[in-house]
Amino acid sequence: MRRIRWLALLPVLLAGQAGAGDDLGLGGLLLNETRTFAGQAFYNAFTETWRALDPAGQYSLVISERPSARTGSQITVRYGTEEVYRQFIHFSAERAARAGRAAPGPVFDHIASGEVDELFVNPDLAPDEIRLK
């Protein structure tokens, strides 16, 4: 009799264990696509400051670099498919780190304001019918 109870409970227990692994618990990722020492300095300074603004790891960002021997590097920060920050930096690790410490504030503000704007979108109104001033 006891064996039959365990056999009846076995599918329920296995289903509970299978569901536990579905949530990987990945928080915000900061993907590094920089190529030069200046890009690495920007990325390191950016991530230090960013973790203070987003301690819960809510947002995932891609930080990429397009180096050029003539103009320095173009640093781009993307949130999803949207480019939220772009700046040219020269090949100086100190200047790049300074830019990396200054960038998270505007990036975080842009993302937060975008989320607030999404809260006020009404699917019943066309974009030209609502004017917020």
In percent, the amount of the chain with pLDDT more than 90 equals: 55
Domains and CATH numbers, the chain: 30-117 (3.30.160)
Structure-block tokens of residue 82: 């949207």
Structure-block tokens of residue 93: 């690790």
pLDDT in tens, 53-90: 999 889 999 999 999 988 899 999 999 999 999 999 98
CB 59 within 8 A of CB 28: yes
CB 79 within 8 A of CB 61: yes
